[in-house]
């Protein structure tokens, strides 16, 4: 898969001024975005987040997941350091797309957990492809990353993408609430996420 850089612009945000970089995957026309703040040397580890699109959590204030909280926290931390990046990948619903995520949420309303709902719909638990990160990061001059994530599979996928070294995992455990508590428990138990979630606040499905 090849990805083409198209244009950059400024992006003033609540956490300061980022630069926004637009990319297009040549084969599919799929559009992805990177945000950067500050400058770095080629051999310097850079704080960053590889964030998968979640329209509901990132833009519609949903409490069903932790995505919006993680995005906000990552941007805030980058602004505190004065340097870093966000890759905002358009892989909605762990790659199944928005409409299928709504179908999965409907199943979760009926008692399935987030993994079982994907399987019931005929999808793997996670369909994302992180191979596009390597050329995006290379374009930004980033070769070593301090990655904000709780997902060891994401680190593994990144390490398998040649040329990118994850030198540190920076935990990003934020946004636990009664609506997403069961979802976070499921991510810890069934997807291996490094989250310490209590069992005593389980309100059932989310």
Ligand X SMILES: Nc1nc2c(ncn2[C@@H]2O[C@H](COP(=O)(O)OP(=O)(O)OP(=O)(O)O)[C@@H](O)[C@H]2O)c(=O)[nH]1
- The only residue of 149, 181, 185, 197 in contact with ligand X, by rule CB under 6 A: 149
Task: Report the nearest approach of ligand X to the CB of residue 41 (Å).
Answer: 26
Query: Does residue 67 interact with ligand X by CB under 6 A?
Result: yes
Could you confirm whether 128 is annotated as catalytic? yes
Q: Of 49, 60, 44, 61, whose CA–CA distance to 18 is shortest? A: 49
Q: Is 190 annotated as a binding residue?
A: no
Q: Are 202 and 185 in contact (CB under 8 A)?
A: yes
Task: Report the nearest approach of ligand X to the CB of residue 154 (Å).
Answer: 5
Query: Does residue 93 interact with ligand X by CB under 6 A?
Result: yes
- The only residue of 37, 65, 133, 147 in contact with Zn ion, by rule CB under 5 A: 65
CA distances from 145 to 49, 71, 84, 163, 181 (A): 9, 17, 9, 11, 29
Q: Are 8 and 22 in contact (CB under 8 A)?
A: yes
- The only residue of 134, 150, 185, 205 in contact with ligand X, by rule CB under 6 A: 150
Task: Report the nearest approach of ligand X to the CB of residue 129 (Å).
Answer: 12
Q: Which long-range contacts (CB under 8 A, 24 or more apart) does 6-14 make?
A: 11/35, 13/75, 14/75
Q: Of 22, 11, 16, whose CA–CA distance to 139 is shortest? A: 22
The residue annotated as part of the active site, out of 58, 66, 113, 128, is 128
Greatest alpha-carbon pair distance for the chain in Å reads 51
Residues tagged active-site = 126, 128
Q: Residues interacting with ligand X, by CB under 6 A?
A: 52-54, 65, 67, 70, 91-94, 96, 101, 104, 114, 118, 149-151, 154, 172, 187, 193
Contacting residues toward Zn ion, per CB under 5 A: 54, 57, 65, 67
């Amino acid at each position: 898969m090849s990805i083409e850089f198209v244009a950059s612009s400024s992006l003033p945000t609540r956490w300061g001024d980022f630069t926004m970089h637009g990319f297009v995957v040549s084969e599919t026309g799929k559009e992805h975005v990177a945000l950067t703040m500050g400058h770095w040397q080629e051999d310097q580890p850079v704080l960053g987040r590889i964030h998968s699109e979640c329209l509901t959590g990132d833009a519609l204030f949903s409490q069903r997941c932790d995505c919006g909280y993680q995005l906000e926290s990552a941007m805030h931390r980058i602004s505190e350091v004065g340097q870093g990046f966000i890759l905002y990948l358009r892989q909605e619903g762990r790659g199944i797309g928005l409409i299928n995520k709504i179908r999965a949420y409907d199943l979760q309303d009926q008692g399935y957990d987030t993994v079982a709902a994907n399987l019931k719909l005929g999808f793997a638990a996670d369909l994302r492809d992180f191979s596009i990160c390597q050329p995006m990061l290379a374009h930004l001059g980033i070769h070593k990353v301090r990655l904000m994530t709780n997902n060891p599979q994401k680190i593994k996928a990144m390490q398998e993408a040649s040329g990118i070294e994850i030198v540190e995992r920076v935990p990003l455990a934020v946004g636990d609430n009664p609506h997403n508590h069961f979802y976070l428990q499921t991510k810890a138990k069934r997807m291996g996420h490094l989250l310490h979630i209590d069992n005593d606040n389980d309100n059932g499905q989310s």
